[in-house]
Chain A
Amino acid sequence: MSTTETQKIEELANKEYKYGFVTEVEEDRLPKGLNEEIIRQISAKKEEPEWMTEWRLKAFRHWLTMEEPKWPNVKYPPIDYQDISYYSAPKKKPKYNSLDEVDPAIRETYNKLGIPLEEQMMLAGVAVDAVFDSVSVATTFKDKLKELGIIFCSMSEAIKEHPDLVKKYLGSVVPYTDNFFATLNSAVFSDGSFVYVPKGVRCPMELSTYFRINASETGQFERTLIIADEGSYVSYLEGCTAPMRDENQLHAAVVELVALDNATIKYSTVQNWYPGDKEGKGGIYNFVTKRGACRGVNSKISWTQVETGSAITWKYPSCILQGDNSIGEFYSVAVTNNYQQADTGTKMIHIGKNTKSTIVSKGISAGRSNNSYRGLVKITKKAENARNFSQCDSLLIGDKCGAHTFPYLEINNSTAQVEHEATTSKIGEDQIFYLNQRGISTEDAVNLIVNGYVKEVLAELPMEFAVEAQKLLSISLEGSVG
């Protein structure tokens, strides 16, 4: 590439984070540090029952025996886990009957993010369980869902109101011993969403949560649990933006999905945590454990993610295909720019007979970033006639970035059919010039090529989310805003 062209592309790739602002809300937070007393305090603040406190403590004691994983293809300075405050909530925790009662500063934040709750309620038919820092402050559409017997509430509320379901399923997909970050989350998780869709119910609207990290130096430890009972269907959307910050913010969420017989869960994410500045300073560390269990026959779990943010992403939404004929899907677009690092992919564990999985991963690297796909397809001994198709593509913009693919295959049954395709391409000067010659600016040309490259994945997103994702992609890679 000629230097001017490279410069131009780099310029476009280097725009400011659009959502950098901080809301001033009085906070109630615990002192920095992590010990059994802190965990008891978190549990007490959330008015949790004894069994929950004990579960947290068990996780914490186990965590003390664990070491931070070193295998991901990412680099960051050591994290001092005693230098983090593990709980913060807006003060004077009120109970809201309507949006008018919500703190105006919080509502202003939503408006800046372009999430007018009322409009969403009216127009989009999306029920929003908005998580502001660690405590849910607004929940909508509850009555409509209640009619159908669907439970959609914060995890804190579920622990109080639906202890049997929580006890039965919490940690059943991601056990508290699972991995360093998931175990930490089990000990200190703040809040998150809980969904239960009863037998035979098709959830009529997309359920959605907007996460937002706001308190400086406060790790966010979301915990989400979604259970789709026999013959049910639910589509869940998770999207987030975070304000500009200098300190690194640790985010270690856990998401567990359970699909019983003939149930389907579709989980879509658009992730836009603050990625750090152009020099790689600041930004969110996003160490997430997401896993779904297709426990029943003919069940299906589909993950779709568009990842544009975070300084470091460490995330492998996975499916455990236990039920016969169950289906796991993973569609991913991961964009890294500047000094961002991403090590992301999926695990498909085939256990039941005739299980099928599909993996479509599209990595885009720009600037000096590093983008790794890491995926495991495991066919266990008893998984007769398992099938997998994997496609892992990488797109490079500029010549200082990196793309890596680490596909792992473990096949223990000879009836398995596994296909893997991988490509690496680069947005070339020739392509840009060709499009320039047709009257298209370099910025629009990059946009056109990137959108073409990711369209397979975006097609899996619900319509309004796909539009948002497309916007995010162009903001992440190009100069034009909006």
Chain B
Amino acid sequence: MLLEIKNLHARIDGNEILKGIDLQVNAGEVHAIMGPNGSGKSTLASVLAGREEYEVTQGEIWYNGKNLLELSPEDRAREGLFLAFQYPIEIPGVSNTNLLKTAVNEIRKYRGEEELDAMEFLELLKEKSKLVELDHKFLSRSVNEGFSGGEKKRNEIFQMAVLNPKLAILDETDSGLDIDALRIVANGVNKLRSKDNAIIVVTHYQRLLNYIVPDFVHVLYNGRIVKSGGKELALELEEKGYDWIKNDKSEVTV
């Protein structure tokens, strides 16, 4: 199993956001995590990536045979965990190329592989930039600085393509994308799907899942996964809205 989350509880500033998450992800699978605003979707993504503001109070996360919670954020990345940010960060003065070159070589060093030389690296960038139809000029521009919302999201998927993660978490990658950009991003992600890696798609809306078709859909509500199913669950949600879950949930608990 690539990822196993057991009874995960996490809080920020004293507020408990995750209240017992259980999730299992195998290599080759795509999982969608859906839920209304404030249900804990982005918190889950942040906890997996190792954001320090979030405190895990209970539970375990096992990733690729390792206790994920004991790894620093950079070591998680080097172990092949990638987070496509909901709000990608601007880093003035640091070019995309420079960031990726540093990242690729740090990851390779960690794995005991040789660093890529400049030619091999540029070749890799060229190949991967085609995946998301990213213009070459973006490579020399500062990371996300002055990028439109869509360009930032495309840049995240481009970085994912270059870093070739085992587990990619896409945090609301569809938000702020028009339909064309959505298609490009989704195509890029689909080309990266393989039997060796897994993808967790965190999203509010079903529309992204028309393009990135998930194997499993989980509905997160109030810090817990309240419903799991196949891809048809997403359609059902779209049709009935989150109130269905909320009402359903209240019926169960009453």
Contact = CB atoms under 8 A, between A and B. Distances in A.
Nearest to A425: B92
B53 A438 contact: no
A169 interface: no
B52 A441 contact: no
B220 interface: no
A5 interface: yes
Contacts of A433: 51-52, 73, 89
Interface stretch (A75-83, A129-137, A290-298, A444-452): A444-452
Interface string A418-457: 0000000100101101111111111010001101110100
Contacts of B65: none
B74 interface: yes
Interface stretch (B95-103, B115-123, B211-219): B95-103
Contacts of A438: 77, 99-100, 102-103, 159, 163
B93 A444 contact: no
B74 A439 contact: yes
A439 B107 contact: yes
A4 interface: yes
Contacts of A97: none
A431 B52 contact: no
Nearest to B89: A434
A440 B83 CA distance: 14
Interface string B56-98: 0000000000000000111011100011010011011111001
Given A436-B50, A437-B49, A448 B99 contact: yes
A2 interface: yes
A439 B110 contact: yes
Contacts of B100: 438
B102 A453 contact: no
A451 B142 CA distance: 13
Nearest to A5: B52
Contacts of A5: 52
A452 B101 CA distance: 14
Nearest to A443: B74
B29 to A, nearest CB: 22
Interface string B18-50: 000000000000000000000000000000011
A451 B99 CA distance: 12
Contacts of B110: 439
Interface in A1-50: 2, 4-5
Contacts of A436: 50, 72-74, 77
Nearest to A4: B52
B151 interface: no
A219 to B, nearest CB: 38
B43 to A, nearest CB: 15
Given A431-B89, A433-B51, A448 B83 contact: no
Contacts of B103: 435, 438-440
B92 to A, nearest CB: 7
B106 interface: yes
Contacts, number: 79
**B72, B73, B82: which has the most chain A beta carbons within 10 Å?**
B73
Chain A interface category by residue count: 20 to 34
A448 B102 contact: yes
B89 A453 contact: no
In this complex, the member of B51, B88, B93 whose beta carbon has the largest number of chain A beta carbons within 10 angstroms is B93
Of the candidates A430, A439, A444, the one having the most CB atoms from chain B within 10 angstroms of its own CB is A439
A175 to B, nearest CB: 41
Contacts of A434: 85, 88-89, 91
B98 A452 contact: yes
Nearest to A423: B92
A453 B52 contact: no
Interface in B208-232: none
B53 A440 contact: no
Contact of A452 (B73, B88, B91): B91
Nearest to B75: A439
Contact of B74 (A4, A440, A448, A449): A440
A449 B93 contact: yes
Contacts of A442: 74
Most chain B Cβ neighbours within 10 Å, of A428, A433, A438, A453: A438
A449 B95 CA distance: 10
Contacts of B74: 436-437, 439-442
A434 B92 CA distance: 13
B91 A435 contact: yes
Nearest to B110: A439
A453 B93 contact: yes
Most B CB within 10 A of own CB, among A425, A428, A437: A437
Nearest to A428: B89
B42 to A, nearest CB: 14
Contacts of B92: 425, 452-453
B93 A452 contact: yes
Max chain A Cβ within 10 angstroms of own Cβ: one of B88, B99, B107: B99
A439 B106 contact: yes
Contacts of A435: 91, 99, 103
A48 to B, nearest CB: 49
Contact of B77 (A4, A437, A444, A449): A437
Contacts of B102: 438, 440, 444, 448
Contacts of B51: 433
26 contacts: A5-B52, A428-B89, A431-B89, A431-B91, A433-B52, A435-B103, A436-B74, A437-B73, A438-B99, A438-B103, A438-B159, A439-B106, A439-B110, A439-B163, A440-B74, A440-B99, A440-B106, A441-B74, A449-B93, A451-B93, A452-B95, A452-B98, A452-B142, A453-B92, A453-B93, A455-B93
Given A435-B91, A452-B98, 12 more contacts: A428-B89, A434-B91, A436-B50, A437-B82, A437-B83, A437-B85, A438-B77, A439-B103, A439-B107, A444-B106, A448-B98, A449-B93
Top 4 A-B pairs, shortest CB-CB distance: A452-B93, A439-B77, A436-B73, A452-B94
Interface of A: 2, 4-5, 425, 428, 430-431, 433-442, 444, 448-449, 451-453, 455
